[in-house]
């Protein structure tokens, strides 16, 4: 006869759930709603036995909080509370904001120091980005389309390069392609009235 902890270890992963290198559910590689799905299957609404939180390292407990406070419509996905560690989507959204904004303020004719600083930032991402699977995809992409030439050419070329990088991720995730001609409006100038 299997114990409760053995059976929860063997439970199939929720769709979209990514396991990190430590063998535990990876917060920064998984959308919060995947944890929420795991949580919902394990517990009837309104009960709290802590078993799901054990598997998700507290993420599911935050889901329970979000499910009781955030959704306004029954079909709304639960929202990750603002003070929780980021899931793959929040991490991505905030990282793109930083990267696109930084690139949009890059000098049109950068100095050697600005070029090497920018290359240091971009080339560190495949090593340091906290979602390992995202970092792996980025590494592969940057091998086929490295940023050196765009950095050398300055802001406009780099805006286009980063837009292409982001569009590759959009495409892989089944999202719409972003119109790269609108990058300056989206990230620096604002849209015309």
Catalog residues that contact ligand FAD under the rule CB under 6 A. 88-89, 92-93, 95-96, 100, 125, 129, 133-134, 137-138, 163, 166-167, 169-170, 173, 178, 183, 186
3-state secondary structure of 97: helix
Residue that is written with structure tokens 């990190």 in the block: 20
Is 8 or 167 the residue whose CB approaches ligand FAD more closely? 167
Task: Give 45 or 82: the residue with its C-beta nearer to ligand FAD.
Answer: 82
- Closest separation between CB of residue 86 and ligand FAD, Å? 10
Please, what is the minimum distance in Å from the beta carbon of residue 159 to ligand FAD? 8
Q: Which is nearer to ligand FAD, 117 or 170 (CB)?
A: 170
**Secondary structure, 3-state, 39-76:** HHHHCCCCCCCCHHHHHHCCHHHHHHHHHHHCCCCCCC
Closest CA to 25 of 73, 63, 66, 59: 59
Cβ 148 to ligand FAD shortest distance, Å: 18
The CA distances from residue 24 to 4, 27, 54, 56, 84, in Å, are 18, 9, 10, 8, 17
Report, in angstroms and rounded to the nearest whole number, the Rg of the chain calculated over CA atoms: 20
Residue 34 C-beta: closest distance to ligand FAD, Å: 10
The token duo for 21 is 């290198």
Tell me whether residue 8 or residue 102 sits nearer to ligand FAD (CB atom): 102
Token pair in block for residue 99: 């990267």
What distance in Å separates the CA atoms of residue 164 and residue 158, rounded to the nearest whole number? 10
User: Least distance (Å) from ligand FAD to the CB of residue 121?
Assistant: 12
100 vs 155 by CB, closer to ligand FAD = 100
Which residue is nearest to ligand FAD, using beta carbons?
A: 92
Residue 181 is classified by DSSP as G
């Amino acid at each position: 006869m299997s114990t409760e902890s053995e059976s929860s270890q063997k439970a199939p992963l929720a769709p979209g759930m990514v396991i990190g290198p430590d063998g535990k559910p990876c917060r920064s590689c998984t959308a919060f709603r995947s944890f929420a799905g795991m949580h919902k299957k394990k517990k009837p609404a309104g009960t709290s036995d802590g078993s799901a939180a054990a598997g998700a390292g507290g993420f599911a407990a935050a889901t329970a909080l979000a499910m009781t406070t955030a959704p306004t419509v029954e079909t709304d996905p639960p929202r990750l509370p603002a003070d929780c560690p980021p899931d793959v989507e929040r991490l991505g959204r905030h990282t793109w904001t930083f990267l696109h904004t930084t690139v949009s303020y890059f000098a049109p004719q950068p100095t050697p120091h600005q070029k090497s600083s920018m290359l240091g930032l971009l080339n560190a991402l495949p090593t340091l980005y906290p979602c390992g699977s995202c970092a792996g995809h980025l590494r592969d992409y940057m091998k086929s389309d490295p940023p050196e030439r765009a950095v050398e050419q300055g802001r406009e070329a780099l805006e286009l390069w980063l837009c292409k990088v982001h569009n590759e991720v959009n495409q892989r995730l089944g999202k719409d392609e972003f119109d790269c001609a609108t990058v300056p409006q989206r990230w620096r100038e604002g849209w015309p009235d």
